[in-house]
Amino acid sequence: MIPKTGFDKITAGLFAIGAFFGLYFQLSYHKFLNNDTLAYINIAELYATGDFQHAINGYWSPLYSWVLCFCKMAGLPLLPCCYVINFLSAGFGLYILCKLARRYLTHPIFYRAFCLYALLLMLFYAMSTLTPDLTATVFCLSFLLLITDDRFTFNKKIPGLAGAVAACAYFSKSYNFGVVHLFLAFLMLLELAKKNGSRSKLIIPVIKTYGSFIILSFVWIATLSIHEHNLTFSTAGRLNYNLTNPNYGKGFPTNEDLFPPPFENAYSAHTDPAHLLDNYSWSPFRDVNSFFYQLQLVQNSIKSMINMLDSSGAKWLLIGCSLLILYFNRKKGTLLYNGSIHKIGWFFVFYPLLYLPLFILDRYILTSISLFHLLFFFIIQLAWIFINKKIFVPMVTVLLALSVVPFVLLGQRKLTRSSSEYLYYKSFYQHLPQLSFLQHQPIASDTYSMVEVTQLCYHLKCRYYSTWKDKQYESLKKYNIHFLISKKDLTPFSFLRIREKLLLNNKTVYIYEVQ
């Protein structure tokens, strides 16, 4: 049997091969960026030019833009940098997950199974959307690696370092500010609730971690609060909550209407969308219907989360069976395991809580997905000593295989779709020189062409006025929009003239000039 060290080398080698091919396709075929990533790039460019008044932004977390700013100042193209950052984050994430697994998964079979899951998980998200979610996950996992370290209670440096990493988790994703607060506050309350004689030495290091986290976080909070003229750690929460307003019922505002870029060097209103839905503020406590609507949102979020953690149900079944085995054998002896796993469990519980009143996407809870698999293999490992191997091993093997099927099918669909998408990306990129007339021009799009327009903003520095849905000439002229990008034939509109027609891998993109 291969020792853990040898298996780690194999895992690292497999990741390196996956990263090589992933980066090759993304760099060669010019994988599209989404409008969120364009906003981070826009902010990075503002930092690089010294326009701090507009660069300081409470909607988009700052760390990703800070890293891209240094790349910009070093003369590196920012879109390829986003590809590389994704894979570097995935590599660090895999390393940290394997370190955590070494701590809790002492049985080689479960350790190796988890590492393979982690490998697939990190590669999948490295090749998915270009956003800071993967980077934020790495900082959260690093924070847990430090706070569950055996030396945490007596080492002078680790608590402060854990607080610094927690602050980076906040800088990379504002949502993490609330999660870290909840988690550290809970740990302190848990220790304070114990009787004096049974209190551990944990509380002082946790206070040091908390202090380090607050002090470092306050640097950004103070800067942002001065910029926004009120005390705040983020401006994203209000808009995201207003999106769920029962009276709104539409998608993200920039996907629904025309909005001018908020300042001269902004690519679009998406660069700072914090106040676009201020008129839709609501509270679940304003009336009975709103309260029950909020409960429905929470219920939907829980269902979505359960499905994202394990869409097959096989892992949930194995967890249930393992817990039953542990319960019926609870009097047969004391289970020996690393007790710091309880902190992992509590962090897993706390992490998605603040998303529940809103909505959940899988990349939002990537930290939870990673921890779920760690806890999953840990629970099965505990039950392993009580089971009949002849019966349980085949059952576990079959159920694990079933649990992998949805993931494999998802990966297959992604590869199948990506093969045609990458050809489309490359075809679009090759046509960019003939679209040079769009450089610095005010443009808009229909609902189906927002992704293409995002690329035009990055490559040709267009100013994007969001989505034209009302089909009215007056709305285009209101903002003096010169060009409209669409995948539909809009020649029946007399005020639109085809300036360019791109035939791209079975799709047609029209560039209309507004008369």
Determine which of 69-73, 205-209, 357-361, 389-393 has the lowest per-residue pLDDT on average: 389-393
Average pLDDT, the chain: 88
Buried b (16+ CB within 10 A) or exposed e, 148-164: bbeebeeeeebbbbbbb
With 60 as the cut, is the pLDDT of residue 416 above it? no
pLDDT of residue 513: 92
Q: Where are the domains of the chain?
A: 9-281+339-372, 425-514
Lowest mean pLDDT among 5-9, 76-80, 279-283, 424-428: 5-9
pLDDT band (50, 70, 90) for residue 48: very high
**Model confidence over 488-502: pLDDT tens digits?**
989 888 999 999 998
Instruction: Output the six-digit token pair for 432.
Output: 């960019």
Cα distance between residue 372 and residue 369, in whole Å: 5
Q: Are 246 and 284 a contacting pair, CB within 8 Å?
A: no
Q: Specify the CATH number of the domain 425-514.
A: 3.40.190
What is the band of 360 on the pLDDT scale with cuts at 50, 70, 90? confident
Q: Give the residue with greater pLDDT, 420 vs 18.
A: 18
Q: Which of 140, 134, 132, 133 is nearest to 213 (CA)?
A: 140
Which of the pair, 510 or 191, is modelled with greater confidence?
Answer: 510
Is residue 301 within a helix (H) or strand (E), and if so which, with residue range?
helix 288-309
CA 305 to CA 288: how far, in whole Å? Answer: 26
pLDDT at position 423 is: 78
2 has pLDDT over 60: no
Percent of the chain at pLDDT > 90 equals 57
Confidence of residue 242 (pLDDT cuts 50, 70, 90): very high
Residue in the structure block whose two tokens are 């607080």:
163
Alpha-carbon gap, residue 181 to 224, rounded angstroms: 19
Looking at residue 349, what is its pLDDT? 95
Give mean pLDDT, residues 187-198: 76
Is the predicted pLDDT of residue 169 greater than 70, yes or no? yes
Q: Which of 101-105, 257-261, 384-388 has the lowest mean pLDDT?
A: 384-388
User: How open is the CA angle 30-32-34, to the nearest 5 degrees?
Assistant: 155
Q: Answer yes or no: is pLDDT of 1 > 50.
A: no
- Is pLDDT at 407 greater than 80 in this prediction? no
Alpha carbon distance 241, 274 (integer Å) = 11
Spatial CA neighbour of 78 closest among 458, 368, 490: 458
Q: What is the mean pLDDT of residues 144-170?
A: 94
pLDDT at position 210, please?
93
Q: How high is the pLDDT of residue 197?
A: 55
**Residue-level pLDDT at 118:** 92
Q: What is the pLDDT of residues 446-486, one digit of tens each?
A: 988 888 899 999 999 999 999 999 889 999 999 999 999 99
pLDDT confidence of residue 398: 65
Burial class (CB in 10 A: 0-12, 13-18, 19+), 470: exposed
Among candidates 373, 344, 409, 410, which has minimal Cα distance to 117?
373
pLDDT the model gives residue 427: 84
- pTM for this model (two decimals): 0.91
Q: What is the pLDDT of residues 303-355, one digit of tens each?
A: 999 999 988 787 888 888 888 888 888 777 777 888 889 999 999 999 999 99
* pLDDT-above-70 percentage for the chain: 91
- The pLDDT assigned to 249 comes to 85
